[in-house]
Structure 1
Amino acid sequence: MGRYQIGCKPYLLALSLGLLLAPPLQAAEWGSLKGQFLYTGKPSRPAQLDISRDQEICGKFSDQIIDESFVIGKNGGLKNVFVYLRESKLDASRIHESFQEMPAEVTIQNKGCIFQPHVAGLWVNKQKLQAVNRDLCAHGFQVKAYRNHSLNQLLPPEAKKLHQFEYGEKLPLRMGCSIHPWQEGWLLALNHPYFSTSDETGQFMIQKLPVGDWEFQLWHEKAGYLVAKDEWKRGRIKLKIAPGNNDLGIIKVTPAMFAGE
């Protein structure tokens, strides 16, 4: 027995050193996905919307009450494209632990008689929707859901409404106001945190994705399913996420992809 113990010591020492020098397992299991949507057409200036109610209050914000359904940045970037993992049941082990630190609430404000922000997303398992009225007039905050109960809440000035979604949705949900018909926004409620929206430069980033073969959804309020390439049927992309950075590069979007263009 003593001879066996002596012979094992070098092996155990080498094994211990190997474990210490090996890179963390987590570093090899996660990757990011990024890209940039660029519009190939000639961008037009967003039109101002008709302020048909509460003009004495909302009229003060006429410069920001514009059609936000199709916003092109200075560099041609398409804003407000939803990009998200198309997965209805994602095992908890495939969600990076850092997402446990996400804020408990996602706030949508009625401010200046528009929704701020215009688009947003939340993880239904960890986050609630907080609707807040920052205006001096009442708003009727609405969210039209498919799998969840729809929301239709009167919000007097400075009122708040906390809402919990039960299920993840497959598509973004329309937000509206029953009092001010020009108000519109979009909310994505998923059962995982792997989503992003493109900024004013057209860029998006989803971080800490689990490595493997996945399908992603592209969606934009003006186009619906955003089919930027022929093989991306119904705006769906099948990708192999590798450890580290995964880059779709520049994604060109043409006028023909958008209704009314």
Structure 2
Amino acid sequence: MFWNRFNFCCCLLVGSLVGILPTTVTAAEWGTLTGQFIYTGQVPQPEQLDISRDEAICGKFSDLIVDQGLVTGKKGELQNVFIYLRESNLEQSQIHNDYLKLPETVTIQNKGCIFQPHVAGLWVNRQKLLAENKDLCAHGFQVKAYRNTSLNQVLPPGQEMLHTFEYGEKLPLRMSCSIHPWQEGWLVALNHPYFATSDERGRFTIKNLPVGEWEFQLWQEKAGYLAARPEWKRGRIKMKIAPGENDLGVIKVSPAVFAGK
């Protein structure tokens, strides 16, 4: 009788503790998504842009001031394609701990009278935007936002600005300069860290995604939604992320995609 009562009391105690202790859900496994974008048309030559303001300063960088809307390598490697997870309500347990090591700021420089880098990504929950003017002339740093407050700040030479986004955005945001009309760049601001842009080899990698069924968005500034394959309507990819490597392979992008056909 004593042992029965003792066991009953122990069960009650354990049950009570389970009820008050915090519980955490952890993703059991993680997967990495990779791929490579190849433009199948004739490799375009960068078009020089008209330097209509501050020519004495910006004219020194005329080799950099070109149309960057469609940048490819010698073999058609397509740069600056955004790919990101179309999800706005991820639980903390679905964010891999490695992402907690990301720097607290993402830096965009006005340098050579262009934005460097031309495209960038930012995790709004943990990262701030740092805009820096490295030129000898003033720049008007503008960001056209949808859910957040838009930016329009004049930065004198050597000055910088720190900005916090409150909300994740559904689409990349256009950066521009109110003083130099040729300046343009793009920023994806999301409430998770699962995004990438294709590099000079046309390749991208998104590491440590939670396994499961997800939808991804492809976007490129000349094409908008990048429907590189017929089944990717509005540039959206539905796929299952499995543990380990998940490779989309070579993604061929035809000129028709940029013609809006």
List per-residue Cα deviations over 1:110-160 (Å, max 9, x = no partner): 000000000000000000000000000000000000000000000000100
Deviation string for 1:7-46 (max 9, x for gaps)?
Answer: xxxxxxxxxxxxxxxxxxx895100000000011101111
Query: 1:28 & 1:130 partners in 2: Cα distance?
Result: 35
Report what 1:253 is aligned to. Answer: 253
Please say if residues 106 and 130 of structure 2, whose CA atoms lie closer than 8 Å, have aligned partners that are also in contact. Answer: yes
Partner residue in 2 for 1:34: 34
Are 2:109 and 2:115, in contact at CA under 8 Å, matched by a contact in 1? Answer: yes
Alignment of 1:1-261 (within 5 A): 29-259=29-259
Q: Which runs of 5+ in 1 are unaligned?
A: 1-25
Classify the secondary structure of the residue corresponding to 1:161: strand
1:12 corresponding residue in structure 2: none
Residue type matched to 1:78 in 2?
L
Contact kept, 8 Å, 2:83 with 2:219, in 1: the verdict is yes
The percent of aligned pairs where both chains have the same amino acid is 73
Contact 2:48–2:62 (Cα < 8 Å) also in 1: yes
1-structure distance, mates of 2:238, 2:164: 31
Cα distance in 2 for residues equivalent to 1:237 and 1:133: 37
What is the DSSP-based 3-state SS (H/G/I as helix, E as strand, rest coil) of the residue aligned with 2:209?
A: strand
- Cα distance between partner residues in 2 of 1:30 and 1:142: 37
Q: Give the TM-score normalised by the residue count of structure 1.
A: 0.89
Residue correspondences, number: 237
Residue type at the aligned position of 1:120: A
CA contact (8 A) 1:217 1:236 kept: yes
**Structure 1 pair 169/27, CA: closer, same or farther in 2 (3 Å)?**
closer
Q: CA deviation at 1:161?
A: 0.3
Say whether the 8 Å CA contact 1:213–1:238 is kept in structure 2.
yes
TM-score, normalization: structure 2?
Answer: 0.89
Aligned to 2:6: none
For residues 191-240 of structure 1, give each alpha carbon's deviation from its aligned partner in whole angstroms, at most 9, with x where no partner exists: 00000000111100000000000000000000000001111110000010
TM-superposed deviation, 1:75:
2.2
**Hey, what's the Cα distance between the residues in 1 that align with 2:30 and 2:230?**
29
Return the alpha-carbon distance in structure 1 between the equivalents of residues 146 and 245 of structure 2.
34
CA RMSD of aligned residues (A): 1.5
Alignment partners' CA distance in 2, 1:90 and 1:245: 21
Residue 8 of structure 1 aligns with which residue? none
